[in-house]
Structure 1
Amino acid sequence: MAPSSSRSLTLGYVPGATPAKWARNWAQRRPEVPLQLTLVAAADAADAVRTGAVDLAVLRLPADTSGLAVIPLYEETAVVVVPVDHLLTAADDVAAADLHGEPVLLPHDHVLDWPDAPGTPVEHRPETTQDAMELVAAGVGVLMVPQSLARLYHRKDLTFRPISGAPSCAVALAVPEGPQSAPIEDFIGIVRGRKPGSSRGQSQPMPKRTAREKTLAKQAARAAAKTDRKPGRAKRGRR
């Protein structure tokens, strides 16, 4: 993929991430700079930023983020995916100890960082998490993933339960190290929840108000103050 144009911003995101809200906010604040969304494999997300294939990326940690600046976004709950009639569905959540002895599928794109995870790994490793979902439905084993992936690959014959005691799954925004372009700084402001008027949330300073605008603002403030001091309201406050 060629590096993105300076007149646009390309955001890579891993499966399960949902950048739609940020994209809507971006379109409102910076309509002159198109935001292009590109789905990238979890294993390739950091490299995509380093090589310039994307300008920035929403990825899962841990990952090799050398040469990148990483901005934490949120933590995801780890869940176990099972058939709808599985015994583990009896409770609202599952303890890690309940998974001991369960056959566990580990797809090649597995992203849950849990070195001492319970269960017995199934010898066959499916290529993708989506492939693993089909094996769960066939009764081959259970699957432990971040909750967003369980929702992304939802099937009517499968369900999931949060795993108490499991590590959470960190999601972050990765950008190249060093000084950032104005569009990247603006996007960082959006994901951090900065308001449009924030000095760090926009590339251009807010224009100063004209003398007429200042006069109108003062008149509106005086009118509001008079309304709050109406005699009828003051009398009702006395006893």
Structure 2
Amino acid sequence: MRLGAIPGATPDKWVTRWRERYPDFALSVDRFDEAGQLERLRAGTVDVGYIRFPENAQAPTGDDLHRVWLYREAPVVCASRDHWVAAAETSVTWDEISAEAFFDPAELDTFDAEQPADDVHTPKLGADLAAGERMALEVVASGAGLVILPNSVARMLARRDIVIREVEGLPGYDVGLAWRREADGPVIQEFIGVARGRKPGSGRSEISTGADSKPEPKQKSGAKRAAARAAPGRSRPGQKPASRRGQPPRGRRRPR
């Protein structure tokens, strides 16, 4: 199974859990820019992929894709350390910054006409990943304006000459996973369960863990008591060892 991650996504915990529980089912992770993720899913480039859309927006996944939302992340503003936004301790409001100049990473043209067009199906590494966001932060660091990013992306690209502050009054971003309906099956469903916190040994699992044998179930307390009563040479509860049923214990006389 191939997982497609996007900037800011941190699937390491899920991947570690998967490889520990299901070593017989290989899982690889490739990283791509956020743009083109639905295209990659529909083409089968990835089996499961992160998706991120503005809060409460109608995600254009269509009827051919399953999706599940996992969490919501806050929007943040990135500004130069010399900008007045840096004076805010943790957050600013949208009303306070709405009149500022903003840069959209998607609109920053980093295309070189002498190079072939970008292939959305080719994984990206290092500085090639989130190139538009990196360019926007370069401009922001010069003091020319601001950029709004998902919190996870801003933290991934954090720089010493940039401050990050949460923005109150703006919708956040819903983050989830999507996969093709026609490719749905026990393996993908189990991975979705892992991503949603399913514990190992869940009765909902439909794939084998690869273990040679399962441990014997613990005997119920009632069965233990029954076995103890049936065991030879064992006295019944409340009966003292070596006492004769119906006879007074030794050392005492029968009252007259």
- What TM-score, normalized to structure 1? 0.74
1:154 Cα deviation from its structure 2 partner: 0.9
Distance 2:161 2:215 in 1: 60
Match of 2:83 among 82, 86, 91: 86
Q: When the two structures are aligned, how many residues end up with a matched partner?
A: 195
2:61 to 42, 62, 65: 65
| Matching residue's letter, 2:134 | Q
Whose relative contact order is higher, 1 or 2, with alpha carbons under 8 Å and at least 6 apart?
Answer: 2
Q: Identify which of 31, 36, 39 aligns with 1:39.
A: 31
The one-character-per-residue Cα deviations of 1:48-67 (angstroms, maximum 9, x if unpaired) are 11111111101212543121
Please give the secondary structure, in 2, of the residue aligned with 1:173: strand
Alpha-carbon deviation of 1:186? 1.2
Give the conservation status (yes or no) of the 8 Å contact 2:83–2:143.
no
Residue 86 to residue 105, structure 1, CA distance change in 2 (3 Å): same
**1:156-198 superposed Cα distances (whole Å, 9 cap, x missing partner):** 1101100001101110100112572222111011011111121
Deviation at 1:41, TM superposition (A): 1.8
Show the counterpart of 1:115.
Answer: none
CA deviation after TM superposition for structure 1 residue 107, in Å: 1.6
Task: Report sequence identity in percent.
Answer: 34
Q: If the length of structure 2 is used for normalisation, what is the TM-score? A: 0.70
Q: Which residue of 2 aligns with 1:151?
A: 155
Q: Deviations over 1:6-42 (max 9, x none)?
A: xxx1000111111111011111111111211011221
Q: Is the 8 A contact 1:189 1:202 kept in 2?
A: no
Could you say which residue in structure 2 is the equivalent of 1:195? 199
Q: Contact (CA 8 Å) 1:195, 1:201: kept in 2 or not?
A: no
1:20 to 2, 9, 12: 12
Equivalences for 1:76-155 in 2 at 5 Å?
76-91=73-88, 92-108=90-106, 125-127=108-110, 128-155=132-159
Conserved? CA contact 1:194–1:201, under 8 Å: no
| Aligned-partner residue type, residue 101 of structure 2 | P
Give the superposition deviation at 1:83: 1.0
If you compute each CA radius of gyration, which structure gives the higher value, 1 or 2?
Answer: 2
The CA RMSD measured in Å over matched residues stands at: 2.4
The answer (yes or no) to whether the contact 2:67–2:176 under 8 Å persists in 1 is: yes
Cα deviations by residue, 1:135-161 (Å, 9 ceiling, x for unpaired): 001112100010011111111110110
- C-alpha spacing 1:201/1:99, structure 2 compared with 1 (3 Å): farther
Hey, which of these two has a bigger chunk of helix by percent? 1
Query: How far off is 1:126 after superposition?
Result: 4.6
**Separation in 1 of the partners of 2:30 and 2:21?**
20
Which whole-Å CA distance do the structure 1 matches of 2:68 and 2:163 have between them? 32
List alignment gaps of at least 5 residues for structure 1: 1-8, 110-124, 223-239
The alpha carbon displacement at 1:214 in A equals 4.1
Structure 2 Cα separation of the partners of residues 27 and 77 of structure 1: 30
Are residues 179 and 56 of structure 1, via their aligned partners in 2, closer, same or farther at CA, if it must alter by over 3 Å?
closer
Aligned equivalents of 2:214 and 2:74: distance in 1?
A: 45
Indicate the residue corresponding to 1:172 in structure 2: 176
One-letter amino acid of the counterpart of residue 81, structure 2: V
Question: Which blocks of at least 5 consecutive residues in structure 2 are unaligned?
Answer: 111-131, 226-256
Once structures 1 and 2 are overlaid, which stretch shifts more, 162-171 or 201-210?
201-210
1:30 aligns with 2:30: no
Moved more, 29-38 or 100-109: 100-109
